[in-house]
């Protein structure tokens, strides 16, 4: 937990409290969420065919045969396997010629390719350039990319609103003195030591005692007084300074 100087907390609201007083755990969750979303989002956009093409082709794909024009290695590897760009030519159901490029890193499949032998593909009649090798479908990496593109923004937003809520409380909350009632060890630890759960109790202006807790590697002593900030309308929303 990041300690805020008493001189700041004892100021009348609104206090000048910035994001530097938000815990690193919250900031790391925001960073991880953003990195996951951007990184896996780029993967989804760069992957051929992209995952949404699989959904479209699953629904309306038409099976046909294509002629392989050439195969070239690209400067990318997946699971330590070289990736190849495969140029194909086929005719759609209206007889119009279509050119397409597909990627593959399956060494067994690539070894079977031959310019004199047709390749089975599926294509979208509404957009024939959207195609895939017959039998291909949504893979494990597609599922992972979808998962992280959903989890990333969720983690970022949860951490962001948690940090913003703490800042709002520190800026506008009522300062009070709380007494530490109990300290319990948790099963977690950091480089600075074991993480302890510190429980405290204070009496807001309404007069009914309210309890709170926080976790730290440098706990105060039981019975010691600490400075906290609480929401005067909802005293259960409180945080130590």
All structural domains of the chain, each given as residue ranges with its CATH number in brackets, are 6-21+160-240 (no CATH), 50-135 (2.40.50)
Q: Are 214 and 196 in contact (CB under 8 A)?
A: no
The mean pLDDT of 35-52, rounded to a whole number, is 82
In the prediction, which pLDDT does 169 show?
92
Comparing C-alpha atoms, which of 113, 42, 44 is closest to residue 73? 113
In sequence order, which residues have a C-beta less than 8 Å from that of residue 4 and are 6 or more positions away?
A: 17, 21, 170, 241
Q: Is the pTM of this model over 0.85?
A: no
Question: Where is average pLDDT lowest: 134-143, 146-155, 175-184, 196-205?
Answer: 134-143
Q: Are 15 and 171 in contact (CB under 8 A)?
A: yes
Alpha helices in the chain (DSSP H): 6-9, 24-46, 51-60, 107-112, 140-172
Task: Identify the residue with better confidence: 240 or 4.
Answer: 240
Q: How confident is the model at residue 141 (pLDDT cuts 50, 70, 90)?
A: confident
The rounded mean pLDDT for the chain is 89
Q: How confident is the model at residue 1 (pLDDT cuts 50, 70, 90)?
A: low
Comparing C-alpha atoms, which of 238, 228, 233, 231 is closest to residue 175? 228
Task: Identify the residue with better confidence: 44 or 208.
Answer: 208
How confident is the model over 87-108, as pLDDT tens digits?
A: 999 999 999 999 998 988 888 8
Residue 79 has pLDDT above 80, yes or no: no
Residue 225 has pLDDT above 90, yes or no: yes
How confident is the model over 47-78, as pLDDT tens digits?
A: 777 888 889 999 999 999 999 999 999 887 87
Residue 192 has pLDDT above 80, yes or no: no
Cα distance between the two ends of the chain: 9
In the prediction, which pLDDT does 74 show?
87
């Amino acid at each position: 937990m990041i300690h805020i100087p008493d001189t700041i907390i004892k100021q009348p609201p609104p206090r000048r409290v910035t994001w530097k007083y938000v815990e690193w755990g919250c900031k790391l969750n925001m960073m991880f969420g953003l990195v996951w979303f951007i990184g896996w989002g780029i993967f989804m956009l760069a992957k051929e065919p992209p995952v949404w093409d699989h959904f479209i082709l699953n629904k309306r794909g038409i099976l046909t045969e294509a002629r392989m024009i050439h195969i070239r290695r690209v400067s990318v590897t997946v699971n330590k396997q070289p990736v190849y760009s495969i140029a194909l030519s086929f005719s759609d159901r209206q007889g119009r010629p279509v050119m397409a490029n597909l990627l593959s890193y399956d060494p067994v499949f690539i070894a079977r390719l031959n310019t004199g032998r047709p390749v089975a593909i599926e294509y979208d009649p509404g957009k024939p350039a959207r195609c895939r090798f017959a039998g291909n479908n949504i893979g494990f990496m597609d599922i992972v990319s979808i998962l992280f593109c959903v989890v990333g923004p969720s983690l970022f937003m949860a951490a962001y609103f948690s940090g913003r809520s703490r800042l709002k409380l520190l800026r506008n909350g009522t300062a009070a003195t709380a007494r530490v009632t109990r300290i319990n060890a948790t099963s977690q630890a950091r480089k600075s030591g074991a993480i302890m759960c510190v429980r405290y109790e204070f009496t807001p202006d309404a007069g009914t005692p309210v309890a709170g807790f926080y976790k730290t590697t440098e706990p105060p002593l039981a019975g010691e007084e600490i400075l906290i900030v609480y929401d005067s309308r909802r005293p259960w929303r409180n945080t130590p300074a």
